[in-house]
Amino acid sequence: MQVTADLRTSKNSLSFWRSETEVDLGNAVLAIVANRERIDPIDFIWLKYQELEDDGYSFEESERQTPVIDLVDQHVDITSLNYHQLGRTAKRVMDAIEEKRWKRLNKNKVKILLQTALDEGRIDYKRVNEKLCQCKELKFM
């Protein structure tokens, strides 16, 4: 499974977080929300890796910036995208929505996800966005 929060491209690539099981989805979302400036709700979808592979996409392992220490190596980019492939990706997103492979975490659930990771020592404080560090809703040790 691949998890993404948006379809904005950078250098003809799309950013995804790897998730092998539905249980791992929380980790993929954690990698995204821990890199933000503030606690906000998040809508996310998951795409089936096999479908993307069958579509002929090129994948590139990449360490993405996230302050979650154990998730840095779970990032992958779909590279060399052209207009046609981006349209096909949008179709895969629509299919995922129709198949209920999406979820919304409200602000409180995002806060709990972040606080749990902080309490478990999974987050490197030096890599957390300064604005998020100043958030009074989280308890940084």
Instruction: Return per-residue pLDDT of the chain as tens, 141 residues.
Output: 555 555 677 888 888 888 887 768 899 999 999 999 999 999 999 999 899 999 999 999 887 789 999 998 899 999 988 889 888 998 999 999 999 999 999 999 999 999 999 999 999 988 999 999 888 889 886
With 0-12 CB in 10 A as exposed, 13-18 as middle and 19+ as buried, what is 72? Answer: middle
Examine residue 91 and state whether it is found in any structural domain, yes or no: yes
| Tokens 């592979």 belong to residue | 53
Phi/psi of residue 90, nearest 5 degrees: -60, -40
Examine residue 138 and state whether it is found in any structural domain, yes or no: no
Domain count, the chain: 1
Distance CA 64, CA 77 (A): 9
Examine residue 141 and state whether it is found in any structural domain, yes or no: no
